[in-house]
Amino acid sequence: MPYVKPDDVTSPQDSWSLNCVFYDEGEGGIAIAFGEWDGEPVLAIRWNGTNELHKELGNPQSSGHATWFILPPELAITIVKEILTKHFAGNNHIRPDCIPIVIAWLKNIGKLTADMY
- Domain boundaries, given as residue ranges, for the chain: 6-116
- The conformational region for residue 110 under phi > 0 = left, psi -120 to 50 = alpha, else beta, is left
Q: Give the model's pLDDT for residue 1.
A: 67
d(CA 1, CA 72): 32
Which three-class secondary structure state does DSSP give residue 104?
helix
End-to-end CA distance of the chain: 45
- As a whole-number percent, the residues of the chain with pLDDT over 90 amount to 42
d(CA 94, CA 83): 8
**pLDDT band per the 50, 70, 90 thresholds, residue 115:** low
Question: The pTM is what?
Answer: 0.85
Q: Give the model's pLDDT for residue 28.
A: 93
CB-based contacts of 53: which residues, under 8 Å, 6+ apart? Answer: none
Asked if 49 contacts 55 with a C-beta cutoff of 8 angstroms, the reply is: yes
d(CA 102, CA 112): 10
